[in-house]
Amino acid sequence: MYSISSGLENGEIPAEIHLTVGRLRYQDDEESQDVYRERLGTASNFLATGHGRMSPVSIIIDHPPRFSLPLDPKVPIIMIGGGTGFAPFRSFIASRMQQKDSGPSWLLLSLRDRDHFYYQEDLIPGLASKSLDLDVVFSREDARPVFTRTTSNYGRFDYVPSMRSHIQDLLLEGDKGEKLWKLLQKKEDGGEEAYLYICGRTRFAKSIHDALKKTFAQFFSGTTAEREKAAHRSLAKIAAEGRFMQEIFTHARSWNTQRPQIDVSDVVQHNSEENGYWMIIDGVVYDFTDFLEMHPGGRGILHHYCGLDATQGFAKVHQGHTEIEAMRDMYEVGVVRPLDFKGVSRVVELPGAMSSVVAVSALYRKWVGILYLVVEMENALRLDQGLQSSVTTRGEMATDRTCYKLQKSIETHQRFITSYASELGGRPFIDLWDLTRGMSTGKSHWMKDVMGAIHDVPNAKFPMALGLKMSTLLADWVNGTLSEINKEIFLRACEKVESADLLLLEQVKDSLRKGVKIFEENESHTLEKGAWRMIAELQRIPVAFETYYHEMQSVFKMIGGKLEDTPCDVSPISRDEAEVHYADNYWSFEEHHDKGLCYLRRTPIAVVSIEDIIESNEKIIAFLGELHKERGVVVDMREAPQRNDAEFENAMMHLRVVLSETFARVTVLLETSTGLLQVNRIGRNDGCEIFATTNEYAAIKFAGSLNEVG
């Protein structure tokens, strides 16, 4: 696609059009031979060698809506072009010369040398009439053209010595930068609201972007970071007003050109203000942090895809739009590093299915797919929560928590619970566990029952109950019946809920990201070297959910909520008669025959000597037999004195292993969530699968759900 570099003829459609074409030549390096072969651009070579050709050529004229002159001809324009990027500006200048009382035009050109300074005669009328300002720099010649006016409509170009430079150097000159700044400012700020155009290759446009931000930063105060941020916002504001337009074309690139390789685990971290905004398109990684605010459709459209592979979304909207693809290339930072799994595969028996051969590459894609799902949820939640720090109604500050914003905050939380959290702890995650566990040890099922135990207990009902209670409080606020102190409590509750919702996603994302990183570090040796580490990361996810439910319970109580006042009422744990088999200073062991499970309760008495606890453990072990293989056990450690030194842990190992080998299910019940990951780690070290929880409902449900074991 080429820009038409000729204008209308007195407002009429011309009989001919002009193109400015740079004939593309580049060298292609062959890996098999130490030779370089010259290649020619297909379209540019066709046009450059077509003199005398009489056969018709089909063309399509496409008018880009975002690269045109202002409707008001009096509006000043600033044109920055590199090389053949001058093409559309020749057309602009010709059109301006035909418009009566047109505003000032300023053309800044970056060329190789005087031999590439084309169309001088077309510029002379505008320069002579002083309707056009011109600044030209040469990058490969120590000279600069200067226009000398000889009559009211004519003049000549002379060349004066000058150090070779680039447009970005020119923009940073004091008087040029100040002129540019003043032209672009709003009229109420003393400016002229000029339109800014850039046309050139990808790298040229990127350098101009950087130079513009450096130039703008000079007119702000504060630290370097603050001035850079203000400059970026200023440029984004001009773009949002439709006064910053670009026409960019790509440059030739050899397929063998070395480009930085980036892992998926790094890309997914770049979807926030702190880390920047990256995405993958066709295997290439782009940093769209600077472009986010300048996107014509608003930042929200791009934000949805940040941290993700956006190939399909991009192709759906921009397939075949070469100018969009060229603009995209301005933000390239590298390519996705390909992983080599060398075709390694394993035979896996999945629940309810026949055994099948699964490649490690397929397992990797499964991990990445669910990681992307979580990132997509995180993006959507951040966008929804972003409303809380924006201006929504006239006269409010961005930091004001209006009733409208509070209503949206409650709706966002309720949507998070019904759509995101339920999906997050549901089938996709359980399938990932089954596949990962099946490929590493052949055992699965565990995670399905753990997640079922966590989600089907009273604590899991607090998030929804919280949303209902908050809606009631907001109604009281609107009706004027909520006290000032309760308003403050309500606002703190909203902040806590927003933080907790986002934290849950971040924790799940972190576990999945670390799992993907294990693939990236080990590739074909992933299962031998990293299987247990991947399982450990997956075991962190139920802990994250349980911690989240505890936080929701805390906030629910903070705002005066009671489950019995909501549709989420839950009956208390039923107690049956228990048969106590053994009790001493350290343990009590009881059986609940109706529930088909056992309780092993640790007393609050501290261990006097290692020999004493070992003796007590052995007495417990003596009561265990074959009938317990069909039962689950809840090891209640809520009252246990804290002790986790190596000597004590080694003394407890035999009991842990016997319990795991004897009972079909083992649940460890703790007082606080800080020990959950530690218990999981100890279980993995012992080669045991243990479910640690702080919720007695969940402990009983998991230990008693033996009918679900395949």
- Using alpha carbons, select from 190, 248, 242 the residue that is nearest to residue 68: 242
DSSP state of 631: S
**What average pLDDT does the segment 194-219 reach?**
91
Strand 132-138 relative to strand 597-602: parallel, antiparallel, unpaired? unpaired
Which has the minimum average pLDDT: 132-141, 156-165, 636-645?
636-645
- Long-range CB pairs of 600-606, under 8 A, 24+ apart, other chains included: 600/633, 600/634, 600/635, 600/636, 600/659, 601/636, 601/639, 602/635, 602/636, 602/637, 602/639, 602/640, 603/639, 603/640, 604/639, 604/640, 604/641, 605/641, 606/641, 606/643
pLDDT at 698: 80
φ, ψ at 322 (rounded to 5°): -65, -30
Q: Given a cut of 70, is residue 132 above it in pLDDT?
A: yes
Confidence at 396, pLDDT banded by 50, 70, 90: confident
- pLDDT tens column, 243-269: 998 888 775 554 445 789 999 999 999
- pLDDT tens column, 450-473: 777 777 777 788 888 889 899 999
Q: How far apart are the first and last CA of the chain?
A: 62
- Average confidence score pLDDT of the chain: 84
The CA distance from 51 to 242, in Å, is 39
DSSP state of 285: E
Q: Given a cut of 80, is residue 124 above it in pLDDT?
A: yes
- pLDDT tens column, 50-66: 666 667 777 766 666 56
CA 609 to chain centre: 53
Percent of the chain at pLDDT > 70 equals 84
**What average pLDDT does the segment 220-229 reach?**
91
In terms of pLDDT, which residue wins out, 604 or 340? 340
Which runs of consecutive H residues, i.e. helices, occur in 288-359? 299-303, 311-318, 322-329
Confidence at 12, pLDDT banded by 50, 70, 90: low
pLDDT at 709: 40
Q: Given a cut of 80, is residue 36 above it in pLDDT?
A: no
Instruction: Compute the half-sphere exposure of residue 694: CA atoms within 13 Å on the CB side of its CA.
Output: 20
Joined together, the tokens standing for residue 90 give 């020749």
Q: Given a cut of 90, is residue 275 above it in pLDDT?
A: yes
- Using alpha carbons, select from 236, 222, 214 the residue that is nearest to residue 290: 236
Percent of the chain at pLDDT > 90 equals 38
In terms of pLDDT, which residue wins out, 495 or 173? 495
In terms of pLDDT, which residue wins out, 101 or 43? 101
**What average pLDDT does the segment 104-123 reach?**
91
Q: Which range has highest mean pLDDT (157-171, 247-261, 295-309, 434-448)?
A: 157-171
Cα 140 to Cα 116, 163, 226: the distances in Å are: 11, 9, 36
pLDDT at 42: 63
pLDDT at 416: 92
pLDDT at 705: 65
- Using alpha carbons, select from 108, 119, 141, 99 the residue that is nearest to residue 6: 119
SS3 sequence of 675-705 = HHHHHHHHHHHHCCCCEEECCHHHHHHHHHC
Confidence at 563, pLDDT banded by 50, 70, 90: low
Write down the residue that tokens 């070992």 correspond to: 614
φ, ψ at 616 (rounded to 5°): -65, -40
pLDDT at 354: 64
Residues contacting 529, CB < 8 A, separation 6+: 522
Please check whether residue 605 is in contact with residue 586, taking contact to mean a CB–CB distance below 8 angstroms: yes
- Using alpha carbons, select from 599, 603, 598 the residue that is nearest to residue 587: 603
CA 97 to chain centre: 47
- Using alpha carbons, select from 399, 263, 248, 403 the residue that is nearest to residue 323: 248
Cα 603 to Cα 200, 290, 606, 638, 653: the distances in Å are: 77, 60, 8, 9, 18
In terms of pLDDT, which residue wins out, 367 or 27? 367
**What average pLDDT does the segment 563-569 reach?**
61
- Long-range CB pairs of 635-638, under 8 A, 24+ apart, other chains included: 635/600, 635/602, 635/659, 635/666, 635/667, 635/668, 635/669, 636/599, 636/600, 636/601, 636/602, 636/669, 636/699, 637/602, 637/668, 637/669, 637/670, 637/671, 638/669, 638/670, 638/671
Please check whether residue 570 is in contact with residue 563, taking contact to mean a CB–CB distance below 8 angstroms: yes
**What average pLDDT does the segment 290-319 reach?**
85
Task: Spell out a b/e string for 297-332, using b for 16 or more CB atoms within 10 Å of the CB, else e.
Answer: eebeebbbbbbbbbeebbeeeeeeeebebbbbbbbb
Strand 154-161 relative to strand 143-151: parallel, antiparallel, unpaired? antiparallel
Confidence at 67, pLDDT banded by 50, 70, 90: confident
Domains of the chain, each with CATH number or no CATH: 1-254 (3.40.50.80), 258-338 (3.10.120.10), 352-571 (no CATH), 579-708 (3.30.750.24)
Joined together, the tokens standing for residue 25 give 């030549």
- 78 exposed, middle or buried (CB, 10 Å; 0-12, 13-18, 19+)? buried
Q: Given a cut of 80, is residue 185 above it in pLDDT?
A: yes
Q: Given a cut of 90, is residue 378 above it in pLDDT?
A: yes
Please check whether residue 159 is in contact with residue 144, taking contact to mean a CB–CB distance below 8 angstroms: yes
